Structure 1
């Protein structure tokens, strides 16, 4: 016999049984990207059109490298949470699990590649 009330069973849980975690992560990344993307556009826009040596010197600045890294990581995390929501809404069964694994692998590989390229650019 189940002694839990309907409210007790539903507290903090949505249909995916993860509560509001995806929603709050999406809100947090959206707010951070609202600040970081304009900063990234201005810094990247400055580097466009300059010589290779000038770009290397520009991205050697820790503030520029940190802004770029935060924008890259925040954008990819935001992408992953949004794609996870779409997959959970529209795909079921084993296809859902395999698609979520593929999405996570792609996003983390993209993040690692971008951070490696930025690190290589900033250190040279």
Structure 2
């Protein structure tokens, strides 16, 4: 039986003062992902059966490139936020949690950079 008061037991374990911002970032990216995903699906359907040159020409269009960049960044950031919550809630042990959170950041960064690089390479025709 502990002699500590309930306040002393939770001191230092409370809010990290970023829960609300995290919540709103996840909701904002979720709302942004709706039209961006619709755009992406419509683009995929319109490119169905097209040859490589046509796909490159469409993806190289400035408007399409901007919307695709927005979609990539928004979806990957949303993915990072969602996985962070899952990892924080369900991974046991502080060292394992830190390792998995770092792996989440590295994975999302690699996915975003590779996608942006590929799209910009297509867009600039390099």
TM normalised by structure 2 equals 0.82
TM normalised by structure 1 equals 0.83
Alignment-derived partner of residue 49 in structure 2:
49
Gaps of 5+ in 2: 1-6, 8-13
Work out the number of aligned pairs and report it.
Answer: 112
What is the Cα deviation at residue 66 of structure 1? 1.1
- Distance in 2, Cα, partners of 1:33 & 1:19: 21
Gaps of 5+ in 1: 1-5, 7-12
- Distance in 1, Cα, partners of 2:98 & 2:42: 39
Alignment-derived partner of residue 110 in structure 1:
111
Q: Deviation per CA, 1:88-123: give whole Å up to 9, x if none.
A: 111231111111000000000000000111111112
Q: Deviation per CA, 1:40-94: give whole Å up to 9, x if none.
A: 1112221221111111111121111111111111111001000000111112311
C-alpha RMSD of the superposition: 1.6
Runs of 4+ in structure 1 over 6 Å off:
none
